[in-house]
């Protein structure tokens, strides 16, 4: 099976920049191998990351992992960069019953994690500084480092590499000619590999064969995304997906992989009459909402369905009752008990 991906001409056009990026990666890896010893955070540490940019289902998996730790009466603390936030330094997003940092300052994904898990989330460019701040309040933390596969400066007890079943390697090229952050041989750094969105159609034999080519030691786990209902924005009330079957809707999203969102809606027999896409991590304005409502009406849509990541950025905006709903998604590992046993062997849980 060949790598799917971008138009060949665009790939060729960007190949000189890809070569520059490759050299920069080599220099970075040499620096960390030669001059930097990975720093321990002082508590059990799990890295979660990917080898491509965006759209691997990382945030639902981090939420799942944090809840899994909570069920074992542990204290998960998520350290994340907070991509797209309008702030810098170490900031605590929230915890159980605590005041929430505005999405613009926290970032959409950290806010979503905090809302759904009710665990402390620290946004920090410097993960070590974030860990030090967290340990002052949570000395028994188990750290989850979000988007950290390329975080070579920090030691982890286990590194989980997420691979999106629906588009594992794009066209096989590095940025900017493709979506790879690193060459495929860096899959070898993974302690375990989690294939996300495994409920979607994909070439399983080809994917496993390709991954084993670069890493035969890592165990494989398969993660599924389950639709759990639709939540009204900003009211927060939940409805069963059965109430939306056959109803024409406008799909609105600002995520890296909107094709998966469309697939999930179709799988629930929700009829997409119109689609409105924004860039990943888009911060919604009242003008965006007003435009979406007008277009939905023009296309004969009963309502607007968006993603949970988008919905956290709409809660302060004026939205008519029963007009916008967020599709609720939960990740789960197929063989959860085996996955938990693997974590217990790798991390001091």
Has residue 96 been placed in a domain?
Answer: yes
Q: Which domain holds residue 75?
A: 34-225+332-346
Q: Are 59 and 202 contained in the same domain?
A: yes
pTM of the model: 0.94
Buried-state track 135-171, b at ≥16 Cβ within 10 A, e below 16: beebeebbbbbbbbbbbeebebbbbbbbbbbbbbbbb
Provide the number of structural domains found in the chain: 2
Has residue 12 been placed in a domain?
Answer: no
DSSP for 140-208 reads TEEEEEET-TT-TTB--SEEEEEEETTSSSTTS-BTTTSSBSS-GGGGGG-SEEEEE-TTS---HHHHH
Nearest to 295 by CA among 312, 279, 272: 272
Beta strands in the chain (DSSP E): 45-50, 75-80, 91-92, 121-123, 141-146, 158-164, 192-196, 220-232, 238-239, 248-253, 271-277, 303-307, 324-333
Contacts of 219 (CB under 8 A, 6+ apart): 192, 193, 342
Q: Are 47 and 185 contained in the same domain?
A: yes
Q: Are 76 and 115 contained in the same domain?
A: yes
Eight-class DSSP state of 121: E
Considering only the C-alpha atoms of the chain, give the largest distance between any 2 of them, rounded to a whole number of Å: 61
Q: Are 189 and 299 contained in the same domain?
A: no
Has residue 2 been placed in a domain?
Answer: no
- Tens digit of each residue's pLDDT, the chain (349 residues): 445 555 788 888 999 999 999 999 999 999 999 999 999 999 999 999 999 998 899 999 999 999 999 999 999 999 999 888 888 899 999 754 445 778 889 999 999 999 999 999 999 999 999 999 999 999 999 999 999 999 999 999 999 999 999 999 999 999 999 999 999 999 999 999 999 999 999 999 999 999 999 999 999 999 999 999 999 999 999 999 999 999 999 999 999 989 999 999 999 999 999 999 999 999 999 999 999 999 999 999 989 999 999 999 999 999 999 999 999 999 999 999 999 999 999 997 7
- CATH number of the domain to which 38 belongs: 3.40.50.300
Q: Are 154 and 213 contained in the same domain?
A: yes
Q: Are 216 and 323 contained in the same domain?
A: no
């Amino acid at each position: 099976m060949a790598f799917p991906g971008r138009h060949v001409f665009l790939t060729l056009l960007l190949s000189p920049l890809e070569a520059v990026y490759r050299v920069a990666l080599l220099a970075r890896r040499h620096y960390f191998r030669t001059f930097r010893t990975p720093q321990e955070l002082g508590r059990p540490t799990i890295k979660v990351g990917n080898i491509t940019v965006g759209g691997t289902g990382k945030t639902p998996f981090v939420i799942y992992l944090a809840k899994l730790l909570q069920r074992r009466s542990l204290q998960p603390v998520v350290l994340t960069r907070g991509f797209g936030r309008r702030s810098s330094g170490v900031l605590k997003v929230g915890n159980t019953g605590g005041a929430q940092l505005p999405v613009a300052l926290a970032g959409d994904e950290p806010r979503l994690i905090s809302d759904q898990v009710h665990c402390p989330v620290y946004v920090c460019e410097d993960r070590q500084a974030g860990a030090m701040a967290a340990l002052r309040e949570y000395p028994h933390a188990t750290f989850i480092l979000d988007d950290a596969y390329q975080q070579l400066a920090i030691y982890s007890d286990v590194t989980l590499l997420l691979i999106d079943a629906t588009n594992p390697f794009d066209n096989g090229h590095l940025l900017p000619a493709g979506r790879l952050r690193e060459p495929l041989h860096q899959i070898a750094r993974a302690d375990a590999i989690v294939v996300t969105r495994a409920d979607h159609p994909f070439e399983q034999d080809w994917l496993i064969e390709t991954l084993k080519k670069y890493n035969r030691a890592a165990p494989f786990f398969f993660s599924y995304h389950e639709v759990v209902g639709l939540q009204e924005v900003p009211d927060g009330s939940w409805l069963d997906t059965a109430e939306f079957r056959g109803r024409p809707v406008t799909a609105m999203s600002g995520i890296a992989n909107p094709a998966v969102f469309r697939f999930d809606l179709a799988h629930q027999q929700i009829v997409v009459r119109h689609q409105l896409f924004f860039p990943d991590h888009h911060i919604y304005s009242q003008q965006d909402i007003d435009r979406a409502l007008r277009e939905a009406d023009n296309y004969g849509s009963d309502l607007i369905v968006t993603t949970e990541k988008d919905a956290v950025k709409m809660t302060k905006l004026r939205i008519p009752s029963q007009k916008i709903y967020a599709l609720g998604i939960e990740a789960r590992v197929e063989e959860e008990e085996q996955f938990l046993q693997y974590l217990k062997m790798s991390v001091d849980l």
